[in-house]
Amino acid sequence: MSAFTWDPENLPFSFRYGGQPSHTQLPDWDREETDGGQTRHLSFTDPETQLCVRVHLRSFNDFDAFDWVLEFENQGTSDTPIIEDILPLDTSWPVPEGDWAILHYANGSTCQVDDFEPKTEWIRSRTSIRLAPKGGRSSSGVLPFMNLQLGDHGVVLGIGWTGQWAASFERNEQGVCATAGMERTHLRLHPGERIRTPRILTINWEGDDPVRGNTLLRRIILDHYTPRIDGDVVMPPIAHNTQATYYWTGEMDEEGQIAAARRVAELGAEAFWIDAAWFGEQREHREWASNVGNWYYRKDAFPRGLRPVGEAVHESGMEFVLWFEPERAYKGSLIHREHPEFLLWFDQNPGSGLVNLGMPEARVYITDILSRIISESKVDIYRQDYNVEPLPYWQAADAEDRVGITEAKYIEGLYQMWDELRQRHPGLVIDNCSGGGRRIDLETTSRSFPLWRSDFSDIGGPAYGPWLQIGDQVQTAGLSRWVPLHTGAVWSYTPYAFRSAMAAGVQIYTDVRTPEFPSEAARRAIAELKSLRPYYLGDFYPLLPAKAVSHDWCAYQYDRSELGEGFAVFLRRYDSPFPTMEVALQGIDEQAEYEVSLTKDFDEPPYARMDGTELLSMTIEIDDRPGSILLRYRRAR
């Protein structure tokens, strides 16, 4: 599919209506089309039942790429027949007999060492591959981004749906057929009712290297999806998260948080982060989870609210990050007492309800609570967690002839809530934690970024020993292929440990106030990351496969081709028997001269001149096991 087609008999989506496939019906429906240049709109209306199906299509300058979303609206006066098997992506690409097809994708997050590890599967003749997340969170188990390689070309697919999507790829005599959409739809719409589908992005690329497709995906996300403030991309911060201190000590109060904020500002941090534990009636250590739904300040810890902390954070030159989990509410919580009708329930988890964002009254209620606390507390980065699998709640609420309706309205309500918060608070930034990296998709990427990409780095992190850094490396090298901006936690400040975890930002997850905290090492590590920040907006190149094994190296590169500059990180793991690595840097002009530095520690050594041809055939040596080298390069002027 080199271009989106408006042919009603060959559209790249499908559904069944009244038991009949859409391609046999749409040619006979009333059709309207408007052309807004890069954004076009097409509608089909059934003259008998007045079901209107709208397609909103966007194309991108300088890319052979399209994204689209469908809407279904009942404009009639009675319920529609059943609409089912709604697939906003249903198309195929020809593959000659004997040619190969390969699907590249990645794990999602499940709090494991191989979170975001890249995966590759051959799509062989008469075989099929099916991908779907776990439990209704869009990147729980598998990322909703794929790269289909078809000989000397390919297509990248992105799915924008923060719920239970599914995608299938099947090889037949003609080629590879691909479908994607909500996992289950079998519903009728009431008069005046409207729903939308997952957003679909397709990017066509040429060549025999699938990295080309991932590069185009990153560029399109950065250019057209990533949130901006005053025209500038919002970069994830270098932040300090005090939750680990709370876990270890139980300390959580105004005085201690302000002291920690002032201390971490001296190290060069850009944001101060209070996670779960600031709200409700917590009296015992780690009691926060049973207080979701009690969205008021802890009187024992913050009798004046969080405004003094927010003001102290700003006085220290940082931004204030505050954690919420607004979609859950326990029985007996404030929300449950005031508005039990706002909650969805699931028999197997009777103590915990789900705030039904698909109900406008519930959405407005919780949005108002969040907005008030954001204003009162001087919050700059709103952090939204989601420690629940919502799919059983949605399914329990659906009638037999309304399968998928609760999820569809809930997900659209989530987007409306986030958009409303950003409208009320210009400059507000959103973090989509969701149990550690389990809600990363095209729609969340357009509104937020994951500051906590995996719970593998949480309180049990140090117990993993050397596997903690291996997990960090896989997260960085795996997720960066698809999503440009994200961060994770760091527990240690050696060059190897810090470089294993660093991305566009990083989270300091240890108590900075203790005498044992390595302040000087942390300060130097933070300074190094800040010097690399501009390159995270460039192209990403994996220099080695990102595998969760102890005997390999991990290596990757960021390149700003328009600047002729970049850096590469090389990490030799604990069990690697190999002291050297042969590497060819990417994006290098072999006719040019470069200034190059290599360093094992956080000092920046003098630059030496090298020809471009030398960067295309280098030997990197690391004697330490584990150990790391940071290579910086810039085209000589």
Mean pLDDT of the region 33-45: 92
Does position 116 have pLDDT exceeding 60, yes or no?
yes
Q: What is the structure's pLDDT at 436?
A: 96
> Distance between CA atoms of 464 and 467, rounded to whole angstroms?
5
pLDDT digits (tens, 9 = 90+) for 366-414: 999 999 999 999 999 999 999 999 999 999 999 999 999 999 999 999 9
Q: What is the structure's pLDDT at 453?
A: 97
Does position 454 have pLDDT exceeding 90, yes or no?
yes
pLDDT digits (tens, 9 = 90+) for 530-576: 999 999 999 999 999 999 999 999 999 999 999 999 999 999 999 99
Query: Residue 295 to residues 208, 278, 370, 429, 560: CA-CA distances in angstroms?
Result: 53, 9, 8, 20, 44
Does position 284 have pLDDT exceeding 70, yes or no?
no
Mean pLDDT of the region 118-133: 94
Do 362 and 406 meet the contact criterion of CB atoms below 8 Å apart? no
pLDDT digits (tens, 9 = 90+) for 585-635: 999 999 999 999 999 999 988 999 999 999 999 999 999 999 999 999 999
Q: What is the structure's pLDDT at 35?
A: 87
Q: End-to-end CA distance of the chain: give it in Å, rounded.
A: 43
pLDDT digits (tens, 9 = 90+) for 308-337: 999 999 999 999 999 999 999 999 999 999
- Would you state the structure tokens that stand for residue 382, as one six-digit string? 């709103």
Q: What is the structure's pLDDT at 1?
A: 44
pLDDT category, 112, cuts 50, 70, 90?
A: very high
- Would you state the structure tokens that stand for residue 493, as one six-digit string? 């400040």
Mean pLDDT of the region 258-263: 97
Q: What is the structure's pLDDT at 85?
A: 98
- Name the nearest CA neighbour of 105 among 95, 91, 120: 120
Does position 175 have pLDDT exceeding 50, yes or no?
yes
Does position 148 have pLDDT exceeding 90, yes or no?
yes
SS3 486: coil
Does position 163 have pLDDT exceeding 70, yes or no?
yes
- DSSP letters, 412-463, are HHHHHHHHHHHHHSTT-EEE--HHHH---SHHHHTT-B-SS--GGGSTTGGG
Do 41 and 33 meet the contact criterion of CB atoms below 8 Å apart? yes
Does position 418 have pLDDT exceeding 70, yes or no?
yes
Does position 62 have pLDDT exceeding 90, yes or no?
no
> Distance between CA atoms of 281 and 295, rounded to whole angstroms?
10
> Distance between CA atoms of 534 and 235, rounded to whole angstroms?
10
Q: What is the structure's pLDDT at 199?
A: 98
In the chain the domains, ranked by start, together with CATH numbers, are 14-224 (2.70.98.60), 539-635 (2.60.40.1180)
Which residues, other chains included, contact 551 with Cβ-Cβ below 8 Å and sequence gap of 6+? 573, 575, 576, 577
> Distance between CA atoms of 355 and 387, rounded to whole angstroms?
13
Does position 144 have pLDDT exceeding 90, yes or no?
yes
SS3 478: helix
pLDDT digits (tens, 9 = 90+) for 197-250: 999 999 999 999 999 999 999 999 999 999 999 999 999 999 999 999 998 888
Does position 2 have pLDDT exceeding 70, yes or no?
no
- Name the nearest CA neighbour of 548 among 459, 463, 467, 629: 467
Do 154 and 105 meet the contact criterion of CB atoms below 8 Å apart? no
> What percent of the chain has pLDDT above 70?
99
- Name the nearest CA neighbour of 354 among 389, 385, 404: 389
- Would you state the structure tokens that stand for residue 596, as one six-digit string? 């190059």
Q: What is the structure's pLDDT at 286?
A: 67
Query: Average pLDDT of the chain?
Result: 96
- The secondary structure element, H or E, covering residue 383 is strand 381-384
